[in-house]
Each structure stands twice: as structure tokens, then as C-alpha cells.
Amino acid sequence: MGGARCQEGGSEQESMEGGCSRVDDAHDKIDSEAELAALRKVLIRDVVIQENPGVKLDDVVGLSSAKEMLKNIALIALRFPQLSRSTRSVLLYGPPGSGKTMFAKSLKNEFNPFFAYVQLSELGTNLPPRGNRKSHVREIFKLAQENSPAIIVFDEIDELGSNESKYPGSLDVETEFLYHMDHLPEGKGNVVLIGITNSPWKLRGSLLARMNRRIYFPLPDQSSRESILKASVEDSSQAGSHELSQDDFVELTKITEGYSGSELKILCRDASMEIVRAATQATYFRRVREGEFEKFVPSTSNDENAEELVGGLMSLGASQVLLPSVTRTQFESALKASKRSTSKEDIIRYEQFTTARGFNGA
Ligand SMILES: Nc1ncnc2c1ncn2[C@@H]1O[C@H](COP(=O)(O)OP(=O)(O)OP(=O)(O)O)[C@@H](O)[C@H]1O
Ligand SMILES: [Mg+2]
């Protein structure tokens, strides 16, 4: 099985020494042109991001140090590779929902390189030939080099270089991966590699040492939470309507300490869903005029201006219904059902890792 391995453990310097070599096993190769063509076709369809994803770096709230670092790295490596043998392998790590994937994808918009996004847990199963993960890794690197300047994002990179990997032969796949990292071309034909993980401490020393910038994506601070809440409530409430005052937002940012960006987004969506849920159960509605049209706003029997409609919402056409704005009341219900997924212990672990081996991206 496998060829010569990269050194594991030890110091970062040790694990980089001599680069990484590997020997191809016959069963890891793709023999036929047809198999190779099939793999490339699926890679180009599913892994290469052709269109600019809508997300821009400016849409990512906070994380100003991460933005500055990544912009510099990508700018030099992709546009001016002759200026410096700069860092080209970056690890983004942090708790779930802290914006790592969103951030990485926004770099496509920023620099418009050839861009491949690989979910490592899907290697082997979603690509042909099934199970041949070494070939998948090899072809992804080849494709990026042929189309450089390129960015390759390996999400869930702990699936690769982890002591706890659930995949058989994962050490061989990691060796293949490290070999290609060591042989990324210098200068012309540059490739930036971005690895993403929730658990940087799971990565073996040999991989961690090669990711020579490691950037921590912490949970949003109070001011970032406010910005994310404001943007998300606009996005998720009907036609952007809400009746939250600045004081409401400040209060919400205090209550949501420890929430991730994605948990805040879910909270806003759930608050908005409360309005929809109440509408489906309403039997009392208020008539209002909207321009030349008469509309019905779901209400309750306590509302003296509301009238009972037999059949409730079902008795109205879609264009006749006007949903009320989101208020603190809906947020209070949504907060009861919402959860923080990152514990204080988790945060301490991230911070300790950052002190020892990373940079804070906030
Ligand atoms: N800093 C942020 N600015 C704006 N939106 C954010 C931010 N962080 C998270 N979000 C919101 O949360 C969503 C999920 O974020 P994303 O998928 O990038 O998190 P992640 O760190 O990759 O999480 P995981 O580790 O679970 O994969 C984003 O699409 C975005 O809507
Ligand atoms: Mg992610």
C-alpha cells in the first residue's frame, strides 16, 4: 500500500524536511482515457465554480484581518507571482457558521481566478471512479495548474490529514495531497490552496506545517452581530419589513452573544417564519388599502378593527394577503427555540490553538 510517506508529528520544521514523495499503486491509477475523461467532466461540472458566486468579500461582516491577509496573499500569488515566493497555502479554521466557506467563495468574485471548491467528505463517493480518492486529488491539482492562476478550496480538510479519519487508506490520500502541495509551481502558473476546518488540532503535523498561514475565524463580536442581524432581518422578512428599533437591535446583540453568523441568520429566518405561522392560523383579519387594492392583514380577535373570515387564510387569494412586519415579539419566540452550537470550552480551545499556531482573523 502507498509509497514513501511524509514525516508525521515532530516539529513543523521536521515535518517539512525533504518534501513529500509518493509511489503510485497500480490500483490508484486511472488506466483508461474514458475513465479520466469521465472524472474530468464531473470535476468541471461539480467542483469547478464557473460563475461568480453572488457573495462578495464586502458581504462578509467583520473579519478585517482575515480580509487583509487573504487579499495580500491572493493578490501577490495570483497577479504578481514574480514579486515574491509568498504564502500560497492558507488554513481557515473556526467554529461552525463563522463564515469560512462564504469568505473563501467570495475570493472568486474578488480575483476571478480558476476556482475549484472541494468538499473533502465527498471525494471518493461523488466522483468517478468511485473510491479512488488518490486519483481525485491528483486530477484536482492538475486541473488547477493547467488553468492557473487558480484557487483551490479544500473544505473539511480534517477529513484528509486527521488522525481520526474514517476513510480507509486516508494516509495514502494525504501523502498524495502533500506531494502535490510540495510541487505547486512557483511563479508562473500559480495556485493558492485554501484549507478549511472546524478542528485544526486534528490535522497531522505534516499537513499543518504546510498550511503556512492559519487564520482563526472567531464568532462575531457585538458590532458584527448587529450588522449580521440587520442584514439578515432585511433579507428574511417579507419585502424587508420589520419594526425593530436601534434599541431592539442592541438588545438582541446582547442576548445573542456566542451565536455564530449562521445562527443569527437562522434566528432572523425563524422570527420571520413566526409571522407566516401566525398567518396560517389566523381567523381574524384587518382590511387595509394598498394603492388601489384592498388587502387583508392577519390579526387576532383582540383587534377591534379586525373581522372574522370563515376559512381564514385559505379563503383569500395570494395577492390579497399582506403580512405584518417582524417585531420583537417574533424574535422572542424564535430565541426560545434557538441554540448556540459553540461552547465556551470550544472557544477556549480555538483561542489556545491560535496563540500557539495561528492568527486571529477578526
Ligand atoms: N461574518 C459573516 N458575515 C456575514 N454573514 C455571515 C458571517 N458568518 C456567517 N454568516 C452567514 O452564515 C452563513 C453560513 O456561513 P458559512 O457557511 O460560511 O460558515 P462556515 O464557517 O463555513 O461554517 P461550517 O464550519 O459549519 O462549514 C453564511 O452564508 C452567511 O449567511
Ligand atoms: Mg463551511
- The full set of domains in the chain, from first to last, is 5-219+353-360 (3.40.50.300), 222-340 (1.10.8.60)
Average pLDDT, the chain: 88
Residue bearing the bigger pLDDT, 80 or 137:
137
- Ligand 2 center–CA 105 separation, angstroms: 10
pTM value is 0.89
Long-range contacts from 239-244, C-beta under 8 angstroms, 24+ separation: 241/323, 241/325, 241/326, 242/325, 242/326, 242/327, 243/325, 243/326, 243/327, 244/326, 244/327, 244/328, 244/331
Helix (H) or strand (E) holding 344: helix 344-357
Question: What is the CB neighbour count within 10 angstroms for residue 185?
Answer: 12
Quote the CA–CA distance of 53 and 282 in Å, as a whole number. 39
Across 32-41, 92-101, 170-179, 182-191, the highest mean pLDDT is recorded for 92-101
Q: Which ligand is nearest to the CA of 92?
A: 1
Judge contact between 242 and 275, C-beta under 8 A.
no
d(CA 90, CA 208): 10
166: its cell numbers: 474514517
DSSP 8-class letter at 48:
B
Q: Do you find a cis peptide bond into 149, omega within 30 degrees of 0?
A: yes
Q: Which of 11-15, 120-124, 295-299, 342-346 has the lowest mean pLDDT?
A: 11-15
123 grid coordinates: 471525494
Q: Which atom of ligand 1 is nearest to the CA of 92?
A: 21
Burial of residue 256 (CB within 10 Å: 0-12, 13-18, 19+) is buried
User: pLDDT above 70 covers what percent of the chain?
Assistant: 86
- Higher-confidence residue: 266 or 238? 266
User: Are 221 and 249 within 8 A, CB to CB?
Assistant: no
Average pLDDT estimate for 258-284: 95
* Atom of ligand 1 at shortest range from CA of 217: 21
pLDDT at residue 19, rounded to an integer: 65
**Within 10 Å of residue 11's Cβ, how many Cβ atoms?**
11
Q: What does the alpha-carbon distance between residue 302 and residue 325 come to, in Å, rounded to a whole number?
A: 18
pLDDT band at 319 (very low <50, low <70, confident <90, very high): very high
Return the closest-CA partner of residue 260 out of 223, 226, 218: 218
The residues, ordered by sequence, that sit 6+ positions from 343 with a Cβ below 8 Å of its Cβ are none
- Please tell me the distance from the alpha carbon of residue 221 to that of residue 238, in angstroms, as a whole number: 27
Chain centroid, CA 73 distance in Å: 19
User: Could you tell me the three cell numbers for 25?
Assistant: 499503486
Which pLDDT does position 24 carry in this prediction?
A: 56
Pocket test residue of 98, 118, 119 for ligand 1, highest count of atoms within 8 A of CB: 98
Q: Which ligand is nearest to the CA of 97?
A: 1
Nearest CA to ligand 1 atom 30: 262
Distance 327 CA to ligand 2 centre (A): 30
Query: Is-contact 158 199, C-beta < 8 A?
Result: yes
pLDDT at 1: 38
Is the shortest distance between the CB of 101 and ligand 1 below 6 Å?
yes
Nearest to 150 by CA among 48, 70, 82, 66: 48
Q: What per-residue confidence (pLDDT) applies to 162?
A: 62
Helix or strand run (H / E) with residue 65: helix 64-74
| Contact of 321 with 352, CB cutoff 8 Å | no
Helix (H) or strand (E) holding 138: helix 133-146
Instruction: Evaluate: CB of 261 within 6 angstroms of ligand 1.
Output: yes
